[in-house]
Structure 1
Amino acid sequence: MTTEYAGTDEAAVAPPTLRRDLEAVLMVVDQPVSEYDLAKALGVPLDVVTRTLEDLSREYTEQGRGFDLRAVAEGWRVYTRPECADIVEHFLKEGQEVRLTQAALETMAVVAYRQPVSRGRVSAVRGVNCDGVMRTLVLRGLIEESGHDPESGALLYRTTSYFLERLGLRGLDELPDLAPFLPDDIEGLDDTGEHN
């Protein structure tokens, strides 16, 4: 659906895929994104992006969706509606006594052995974006925020006492040694596991 917006000398027309593209981006970001950054990334005028975001937010509310698109000080982000918070928390904590996925186990291992560590560093080590998995591990109480990196300002994460309890460990010093699992040609690897 193409939407025309008046308000400037010429009516700005939203590309037919703008709503879809905005939703796709907003579903994967882990922090609010500014209208300017969205407009720049999608190659659409700022006022068109702003009005489309406002329309989407209003529609989600009118339709009674379980999520909400909110403008906060730093930009726009999708949030769980407050009235759904209890059910989401129940699902992620008590309601899901299932095994962790391979991705979650790998992500948790990177945090355990490299803590405190940022999401970006975990993603670099694993070679894939780990934001969603990290959020799940935080919600399950296995990892937690532990301050900010003094150089980059990135949020850092560490394992929790619940993590130790679930693994039956008294402390991190009881984690198994990784040396037997590393390749023989470990010389020349940087801290992401890539060859220099």
Structure 2
Amino acid sequence: MSDEERQDSLADQAAAWVPPWERPTARQNTVPTPADTAPADPERTPVEAASAEPERTPVEAAPTEPGRTPVEAVPGDPGTAAGERGAAGVPRRQPAGRRRATVAPEPAPELDDAELRGALEAILLVVDEPVSELVLAQVLEQLPERIGPVLDDIAAGYTAAGHGFELRRAAGGWRLYTRPEYAAHVERFVLDGQSARLTQAALETLAVIAYKQPVTRGRVSAIRGVNCDGVLRTLVSRGLVEECGAEPDSGAFLYRTTTMFLEKLGLDSVADLPPLAPFLPDDVEELADATR
């Protein structure tokens, strides 16, 4: 090769030489992505552009329906495929506007005086123990204030008409009873010649408990002067006496009369028992001193 040809070859190489900072990199030789082809902001560097983009949460990135915010479109909303339950199967709390309104039960119609009177008489014919005014009001779904005056009117009507039965208040409630003047006829029909009376010892024990209640068995025996264990068991078995706790000092059982006792005697409470003073002898204090 001549000197002229060598100089032309060097000149061509010098003209074709590209500085390293202008040579294409490996990324420029790959297929351009949409992010690479997007026009860059001349005033922002690539690092600034990447850091300036706000982070998007999965809820914001989820597709939403028109007119609904991303929060309303999360799974578990009634409008989505998850229905009334969320993705975890937990029922969602209904919004205030979507809660079901509870329907209050309709009040029972108010009975007039004639209907109320008939309903009370029908119930009193089938009860086996005195029933209170509150229970009657609840059964008939009427105001308790109306029950008492109607019962008083029914009782007065039975007395004025001279029926063989009467309506009386006993043991805190109301019940129909036969009149005392017809007791002999009723007794013959019910007992049919059989005596079901209490013995004298049972009556004395029952009287002591009625006036001294609550009282222990030992106190009753001391008042009567004899052992009353057997008689007391009889009164308990017949439902006239019941236990009502224990005495704090000795731990002995206390006894009192029952509701059946009041019902059998036709009393409303033990306060209606007659006073003992008229039945006591004049020398009761002397007798008490003699027994000491």
Instruction: Give TM class, smaller chain.
Output: 0.3 to 0.5
Q: Which has the higher contact order (CA 8 A, sep 6+)?
A: 1
Higher fraction of strand: 1
TM-score for both structures, normalised by structure 1: 0.47
TM-score for both structures, normalised by structure 2: 0.32
